Amino acid sequence: MNRFQRLRTSLVLFIMAIMLVSCTIPTIVLLILKMLGFFEGYIHWAPIILACTMLGISVVVGSLLSFLVAKRFLKPLDELIEANKKIAQGDFSVRIEEDSDQIGEIHELLHSFNRMADELQSIEFYRSDFINNFSHEFKTPIISVRGFAKQLKNQDLSEEQKREYIDIIINESEKLCNMTANVLQMSKLDNQTMVCDKVPFSLDEQIRNVILLLERQWSKKNIQWQLEMPTAEYCGNQDLIALVWKNLLENAIKFVDSEGTIRVEISVSEAYVTVKVADNGCGMSPETQAHIFEKFYQGDTSHAKEGNGLGLSIVRRILELCEGKITVASVLGEGTTFTVILPIVHEKAVKEH
């Protein structure tokens, strides 16, 4: 509100300045003409001539000054109106040139518009990228299911081939179910602004339960576990936090080699609980690390590993809601370490909230 008041005051002062200048200049001109004796012999007509001359000069000077000031102030606003029309038509690439000489409020208005256009363009890019990626990821298992379902109609197939094709259809169907569940979960988290149903629970016990839940996956690869998890009490939403460990551990299991090792370490301070999940798998390049938390991003472009690129995005969003954070450190061929930091929220504070 103060900014608009300052802008309104500035415009009033400019109008007053125009009126003052419009009156001052004609007065000076007429005084000079009188000193030069221009009105001698026209003494009776002098007041009328004086008034008409002042009026004419005031109109000319006032119009000229008003035009210059209006051009100065209204040009950016005209550009803003035209740019808004383009934005309304879906052209999010439009930008308005910012001039440091502009009045603060107008410069701030144009700067805010350009920031809004940047955000809208990013959202549009994300929307298009999301649709393209989701269509690709969804289409691949659908094609497999359709292809092998058609093959099952072949009467010449052996029982072994039929079982193989049925297993493929089941696996691809599970991929579709997981992908759909992840997309729905991601959509729900994107629209969520706060975490509810916070209760105190044992963080180390929860991680042990998640490891047991994933036993079928890691036992196939004979993965060794190194656990350094002292008792760690945490107050939060158990279901959301469990999703963090499930996605991180599944990611580690997926990229570690057979006979590999996964290390889980918990450390507790007065303000934070820190959990590290480390593996000695294939590691990631710096480029992959820079994009690893983006939706549908997969460092394995060959898609040799199962996944749809949403797990780590879900993890980051959950931690954002919990006011925590996650970092990654990795070296190609040596392994990857994810570090999760969660602020300790006491049960008393949750009840008061």
Q: Domains of the chain: which residue ranges? A: 2-91, 121-190, 199-352
Q: What is the secondary structure of 71-119 as a DSSP string?
A: HHHHHHHHHHHHHHHHHHTT-TT------TTS-HHHHHHHHHHHHHHHH
Of the pLDDT bands very low, low, confident and very high (cuts 50, 70, 90), residue 10 is: low
Q: Which residues are CB-neighbours of 244 under 8 A, at least 6 positions away? A: 315, 318, 319, 340
H or E stretch including 47? Answer: helix 46-88
The reported pLDDT for the residue numbered 40 is 62
pLDDT value for 28: 73
Asked whether the predicted pLDDT for residue 15 surpasses 50, the reply is: yes
What whole-number distance in Å separates Cα of residue 142 and Cα of residue 140? 5
What number is the average pLDDT over the span 152-157?
Answer: 84
Query: Could you tell me the strand order of the sheet in which 325-331 lies?
Result: 224-228, 261-268, 272-279, 335-343, 325-331
Whether 244 shows a pLDDT value over 70: the answer reads yes
Is 141 a residue whose pLDDT tops 70? yes
With cut-offs at 50, 70 and 90, classify the pLDDT of residue 281: confident
Q: With a threshold of 0.75, does the pTM exceed it?
A: no
Q: What phi and psi values does residue 338 have, to the nearest 5 degrees? A: -100, 135
For β-strands 224-228 and 261-268, DSSP reports them as: parallel
State residue 183's pLDDT score: 75
- Per-residue pLDDT band at 76 (split at 50, 70, 90): confident
Q: What is the pLDDT of residue 344?
A: 81
Read off the pLDDT of each residue in 220-234 and give the average, rounded to a whole number: 90
Could you read off the pLDDT of 78-120 as tens digits, one per residue?
777 888 888 888 787 888 877 666 556 677 777 888 888 887 7
End-to-end CA distance of the chain: 32
- The answer to whether 314 and 240 have CB atoms below 8 angstroms apart is no
Give the Cα separation of 339 and 316 in Å (integer): 11
Phi, psi of 292 (to 5 degrees): -65, -25
User: Residue 18 and residue 65: Cα distance in Å, rounded?
Assistant: 6
Q: Which CATH number fits domain 199-352: 3.30.70.100, 3.40.50.300, 1.10.3720.10, 3.30.565.10?
A: 3.30.565.10
Class of domain 121-190: mainly alpha
Instruction: Provide the token pair at 47.
Output: 């007041």
Cβ(280)–Cβ(334) under 8 Å?
A: yes
